[in-house]
Amino acid sequence: MRITSVGHAGFHIETKAGSILCDPWVNPAYFAAWVPFPDNTQLDWDALGDVDYLYVSHLHRDHFDAAHLLKHVNKDAVVLLPDYPVPDLQRELEGLGFHKFFETEDSVKHTVTGPKGDLDIMIIAMRAPADGPLGDSGLVVSDGETVAFNMNDARPIDLDVMHTAFGHIDVHMLQFSGAIWFPWVYDMPQRAKDAFAIQKRQRGMDRCRQYISQVDATWVIPSAGPPCFLDDELRYLNDDTDNPANIFPDQVVFIDQMRQHGHDKGLLMIPGSAADFSGSNLNALEHPIPADEVEKIFTTGKADYIESFAQRMAPTIAAIKATWAPAEGEPLLEPLRALFEPIMVQTDQICDGIGYPVELDMGAEKVVLDFPKRIVREPIADEKFRYGFAIAPNIVRTVLRDNEPDWVNTIFLSLRFTAHRVGGFNEYLYTFFKCLTDERIAYADGWFAESHDDSATIIKDGWEIQRRCPHLKADLTKFGIIEGDKLTCNLHGWDWNLKTGACLTSKGHQLRSSKVGTGNTE
C-alpha cells in the first residue's frame, strides 16, 4: 500500500485493488480564512484525481472542496458513502456529477469489487448534531496486506468493531490540532483567553494520544490540520511564534509530544510525501523536497514560509473577497426573520435548550433571535443578552444570498466574527445555526428528544459514574479523566462536578455520579 499525503486531511491511497482519493482540499475555505498547510497547489491534481474510488468524510469545507472535486476528480470514481441520517453529502456530490455510490452501513466491514480486484473497507460514521454538519466519519481500508485507518478529524466512540473486523491496524492518520474558534473570538480578557487556549491545546493533543493508544497502530500520521491563515487580519492565528497558548499546534509539535510519551513511530508528511507499506513494515518514505528541508517548514523557516505563501495566495484571496455581498443594502431584519422563524417553530428541544434571546450585532443594525418566543425582532432599549455574536454585514448578506444551510460551516469556522456569552457553551445554539433546513432541524430535534441510555455504571478513581457521557455517549472508561471532584470527558473536553452531577460546560447534560459506597451524590 502506498499512501501519499495531498494536504491537510487528504490522502491518495494506492493498492493492487484500486486507488482511493480521500478529502482533497485546495481552495481557501470559510470566507477565505483557511488554506491547507503546507501549500499543496503544486501537486498534479489531474493525476491524483484519476482514481477508482473517492471518499469524502463529511461536508466541512476543508474536506469537501466542491470546486476542486468538480474540476479535477474523475466523475466515474465510485464514491464510498458514509451512513448519514440526512443525504446532504450524496446530494452535493451528485450535483458535481458523481453518479456511482457504494452506500456503506455504519461500522460494518464491506468488500468493494472493482476491475482491479477486491478491497475491504469500513466507514465508521458519527451522526450526532455535534459531529461535523450532522455527520463525520473515518475510513478503514485493507488490501489484504496493509490496514490503514484514516480517522481525519472524526471522534469515534467505539473502535472495537474495527479491531474485530480487521485485526491489527498498521497505519493511523488522525487530527491532533485545534479547528474551532474557542476561545479566540470571545470577548474576554487576553489573560483568560490564554489560559483557556493553553488548556485546549493540551487537551486536543491528549485526546489524540488516547486515540493512538486505543487504535494501537504501528505507524501514526498526524494530519487534518492545522490550517494556515494568510489573510492579514487572521495571520495572528498561525503557530509561528512558539506561543504556548496558540490553539493550532503543527505536526512537528505533536510528533515531539508523541516521543515524550514513548511513541517514536510518528511520520511527518507534507503534500507530495509518499510512504510505502507492506503490512506494518515501512519500506520507504519519500518527500517532494530534501528531507532536511521538510522540518524547517514547521520550525525555523515557518514564519518566512507563511509570508511567502501569503504573497502567492493574495490575488486568490482578494478574488474570493470580491465575490462577497456588499455591506450596504436593505435592512436585514426581514430576510433573517424569513430564514430563522420557520426553523424556530419546528423545534422545541433546541429553542428551549437555548433558552434566551440571542443578539446578532451587524454594525449599524442589530437583530434579536428570541428563542423563547420563536421570533426574530428588533432589540428592546437597554436589553441585555446572555449570548451574542458580532458579524460584519457583508458576511451575513453573503450567506443569505447563497442560501447557506449551515452558518457554522461558513461564518463561525472562518473566525471572522466575535462572540460573548454568560456561562458555559450552549450546544443547542450552535446546533441551531448548523441546521437551517427542515430536514436537518427535524433530525437534530429528534436527537435531543431521544433519551440516552445511562443505565451502565463504572467505578473510576473512587466514584461510581454512568458509563456513557451525557453529551455524546462517549465511553467514560476510555475518555473520562477525574481530578478531585471534577470529571472531564476528553472526547470534547466537557467537564462535570462529580459531587452534584452538574455539567460545568453547557446547560443540561446531568451526570449520574456518587462516591463509591454511598450510592448517592454528595
Query: Is residue 453 over pLDDT 80?
Result: no
Mean pLDDT of 121-149: 94
Other C-beta atoms closer than 10 Å to the C-beta of 112 total 19
Q: Compute the chain's Rg from CA coordinates.
A: 23
Cell digits of residue 83:
451512513
In this prediction, residue 522 has a pLDDT band, given cuts at 50, 70 and 90, of: very low
Pairing state between β 53-55 and 78-81: parallel
DSSP 8-state symbol, 387: E
Query: Is residue 520 over pLDDT 70?
Result: no
Other C-beta atoms closer than 10 Å to the C-beta of 42 total 10
Mean pLDDT of 340-362: 95
Query: Is residue 231 over pLDDT 50?
Result: yes
Other C-beta atoms closer than 10 Å to the C-beta of 177 total 24
Least confident of 17-21, 43-47, 96-100, 126-130: 126-130
Mean pLDDT of 122-139: 92
Query: Is residue 129 over pLDDT 90?
Result: no
Domain chopping of the chain, boundaries: 2-316, 333-449, 457-515
Q: What are 367-385's pLDDT values in tens digits? A: 999 999 999 999 999 999 9
The per-residue pLDDT for 437 is 93
Q: What are 26-58's pLDDT values in tens digits? A: 999 999 999 999 999 999 999 999 999 999 999
The per-residue pLDDT for 225 is 87
* CA nearest neighbour of 251 among 219, 299, 291: 299
Q: For domain 457-515, give the CATH superfamily.
A: Rieske [2Fe-2S] iron-sulphur domain (2.102.10.10)
Q: What are 489-514's pLDDT values in tens digits? A: 987 788 999 999 999 988 788 999 99
Contacts of 505 (CB under 8 A, 6+ apart): 424, 425, 493, 494, 495
How many CA atoms, within 13 angstroms, populate the side-chain half-sphere of residue 129? 28
Mean pLDDT of 288-317: 96
DSSP 8-state symbol, 296: G
Q: What are 254-292's pLDDT values in tens digits? A: 999 999 999 999 999 999 999 999 999 999 999 999 998
Distance in angstroms (rounded) separating the CA atoms of residues 24 and 54:
9
Cell digits of residue 11:
490522502
Least confident of 72-76, 206-210, 328-332, 490-494: 490-494
Query: Is residue 422 over pLDDT 60?
Result: yes
The per-residue pLDDT for 470 is 85
Beta strands in 313-395 (DSSP E): 357-362, 365-370, 375-377, 387-390
The per-residue pLDDT for 45 is 98
Cell digits of residue 251:
505536526
Distance in angstroms (rounded) separating the CA atoms of residues 522 and 515:
7
Least confident of 13-22, 148-157, 221-230, 489-498: 489-498
In this prediction, residue 517 has a pLDDT band, given cuts at 50, 70 and 90, of: confident
Contacts of 136 (CB under 8 A, 6+ apart): 57, 58, 60, 125, 126, 152, 153, 154, 155
For the chain, what percent of residues have pLDDT higher than 90? Answer: 86
DSSP assignment of 194-245 equals HHHHHHHHHHHHHHHHHHHHHH--SEEEEES---B--SGGGGGGSS-S--TT
Q: What share of the chain is helix, strand, coil (3-state, %, to 5)?
A: 30, 25, 45
Distance in angstroms (rounded) separating the CA atoms of residues 249 and 299:
11
Least confident of 281-290, 450-459, 480-489: 450-459
Partners of 275 in the β-ladder: 3, 285
Helices (H), 96-174: 160-166
Distance in angstroms (rounded) separating the CA atoms of residues 212 and 174:
9
Q: Are 480 and 465 in contact (CB under 8 A)?
A: yes
Q: Domain 2-316 falls in which CATH fold?
A: Metallo-beta-lactamase; Chain A (3.60.15)
Mean pLDDT of 204-227: 95
* CA nearest neighbour of 4 among 133, 115, 150: 150
Query: Is residue 165 over pLDDT 80?
Result: yes
Partners of 34 in the β-ladder: 29
Pairing state between β 387-390 and 136-142: unpaired
* CA nearest neighbour of 384 among 356, 423, 350, 353: 356
Question: Reduced to 3 states, what is the DSSP secondary structure of residue 32?
Answer: coil
The domain made up of 333-449 is a member of CATH 3.40.1130: no
Query: Is residue 229 over pLDDT 50?
Result: yes
Least confident of 92-96, 159-163, 329-333, 424-428: 424-428
Q: Are 83 and 125 in contact (CB under 8 A)?
A: yes
State in Å, rounded, how far the first CA of the chain is from the last one: 55
Question: Reduced to 3 states, what is the DSSP secondary structure of residue 488?
Answer: strand
